[in-house]
Chain A
Amino acid sequence: SQQGEEDPQALSIQEGENATMNCSYKTSINNLQWYRQNSGRGLVHLILIRSNEREKHSGRLRVTLDTSKKSSSLLITASRAADTASYFCATDPYGSSNTGKLIFGQGTTLQVKP
């Protein structure tokens, strides 16, 4: 079952602009993760934020988590053409016993124009 819903479904920006993607989920979680998928390839883990964290940074990525609203956002600053990809949020449901059975959203397709 798909718990995460991402918004927008597609985003097109110019190089150098910031890109913000949002994810909402329905149940309590242990953590929330963001993955990136280049066209026709597998998913690659970007960043993980635990349920007791509110913000996390990794390079040009900034993730926030609001557990009261059951939502997260991924901000990519100073975007580059190479950031063009699909971005997925994935939640690790509370009580999942550390199985790795994440629930993925349907993704946001980001296009960064040179």
Chain B
Amino acid sequence: DVKVTQSSRYLVKRTGEKVFLECVQDMDHENMFWYRQDPGLGLRLIYFSYDVKMKEKGDIPEGYSVSREKKERFSLILESASTNQTSMYLCASFSVGTHLGNTIYFGEGSWLTVV
């Protein structure tokens, strides 16, 4: 089974802190994603990476950056956390070569609270 692991399930950070959310997948998938999920707003794509060191902005990239130095690892960075970034963050991965169609695999989520 594909495993997408998000290193932190629950974090509490102070306003202005730099926050790193780490995600690792074990299936050699090319593409990785970061979403945030808020009540009433569904899933919104923050950033997408299609290869090592390659990234593309999603729908809500403001206030976030990403890093993909290795194929299996995709990090989301909040340069200066703000209270409106309190949310559930979901990492996902996808194999371009899958025979199953475009199925993506999600991690368990990281609940971030900024105080």
Contacts and interface: CB of A to CB of B under 8 A. Distances in A.
A1 B58 CA distance: 9
Interface string A90-114: 0010000011111011110000000
A104 B90 contact: no
Interface residues of A, number: 25
Given A40-B109, A43-B90, A99 B104 contact: no
Interface size class of B (residues with CB under 8 A): 20 to 34
A44 interface: yes
A42 B108 contact: yes
A98 B96 contact: yes
Contacts of A2: 42, 44
Interface of A: 1-2, 30-31, 33, 35, 40-45, 48, 50, 88, 92, 98-102, 104-107
A31 B101 contact: yes
Contacts of B101: 31, 33, 48, 50, 92
B48 A101 contact: yes
B41 A100 contact: no
Contacts of A101: 33, 45, 48
A21 to B, nearest CB: 14
B62 interface: no
A64 B88 CA distance: 30
Contacts of B111: 40
Contacts of A50: 101
Nearest to A4: B42
Contact of B108 (A41, A88, A92, A98): A41
A104 to B, nearest CB: 4
Contacts of A44: 106
Contacts of B41: 106
Nearest to A104: B43
A72 B59 CA distance: 24
- The 8 A-B residue pairs with the shortest CB-CB distance, nearest first, are A100-B94, A42-B106, A106-B42, A104-B43, A43-B106, A48-B101, A42-B108, A92-B102
